[in-house]
Structure 1
Amino acid sequence: MTLVHLFAGQGSQRVGMGRELLRSYPNLVRQADSLLGYSVAELCLDGPADRLADTRYTQCAVYVVDALAYVDSVRTSGRIPEVLAGHSLGEYAALFAAGVFDFRTGLEIVAKRAALMADTEPGAMSAVIGLDEERVRYLLDTSGLPVDVANLNAPDQIVISGPVAAVEKVSTPMREHAQAVVPLKVSGAFHSRCMEPAAREFERFLSGYVLARPK
């Protein structure tokens, strides 16, 4: 049987996450604290929730917990997965697990990604439930608003992303056709055209790294 390890992405964070993991791997936690300049354990365990929801902190916290969960899984089970995958931000923990970079380098990259994304204009994301991709794209195209399809989570769960006011405005007609339109716990318009300036700067930053082939 093929063993797959799937890493969670942004939006999965909650105050109290990783309690046992953070206690079990103090050396890696100290590496994280040294690089970030704050206590990742305090952030994860004490929040406050609005700070943990700020992408500048969310991405670092989720990466650390994702990575520790993987290390713990391998240590306790003795099995190394054949397949690694991640949901958006979770891809970075998957790359760590695949040996593309070490824990600290991965966190350094994630911290830069988080800072660049945090410096973009505020944005919003919502999950549209009960409509297929074609219908969601049609409603977005006819709205004339700068809102994009960001994630195809399932055939009937499509995530949209854009400026806060635009996402709120387009959500009104969406609700007339969908089962639900659920705002996500994020602080930016991720996976949308709003991220293009951050993406260009991030590409320049990544050019300074030599990455290993995934194992």
Structure 2
Amino acid sequence: MKRYGVGFAIAGSFMAIAFLIIVNLLTASEHIWFIYPSIGLLLWPVGIYCMKNKYYKLFAVLCSLLVIIFLTLENYLNTPGYPWALYAVFPILCWPILMLLGKRAGNIIVSLVGSAIIIIYYLMLNIFLEPGYPWAIFPAFAVLWWPLTIYHLARKSYFQYSIHASLFISGFFILVNAVSSPNTIWAIYPIFAVLWWPLSMYYFVYKGRMER
């Protein structure tokens, strides 16, 4: 069974997809629904082949391509006037890219370049697709944790990390407050909670080590 596992999965998935296409065309040809289960069926032989041969990077690449193709078709068939699939394409591509980079993903230069590319990508989407609100600050905030964390982990500067991270989070909330609701100052509440992180690190970890 193991010997013919991949061939069986390929034959089984394509037979199932052909069956679903026939059922779709006979019962509800005005609505193309067979593509939804087809994605899962295609992942079956791909997963078996890659896991059996330990092609983990190839698995990441093929799965990402399948998901991107699926989202692009879904976008084109249902809402062709708005390319919403672009929002998901880059995060999906990050999976095979990080797999291909391997240990190099933990390099500070790679993290800075990768973060800059992601921020520019979403900034362009923000400008050309949704210029009404600067929502690109949210993915930028998320992705900048990558180089910040790598920098401090490499130096094992955990207390300094808590300080810089707290300042980063505080700056983010201040910016969101100023952009979203400038007439209501609410950013002080999450900032107050975040400040307990470096304070607790100082009194319970850093200061204790200095006293020893």
Specify if TM > 0.5: no
Which entry has the higher C-alpha Rg, 1 or 2? 2
- Larger RCO, structure (CA 8 Å, separation 6 or more): 1
Point out the structure with the larger helix share.
Answer: 2
TM-score, structure 2 as length reference: 0.31
Point out the structure with the larger strand share.
Answer: 1
TM-score, structure 1 as length reference: 0.30
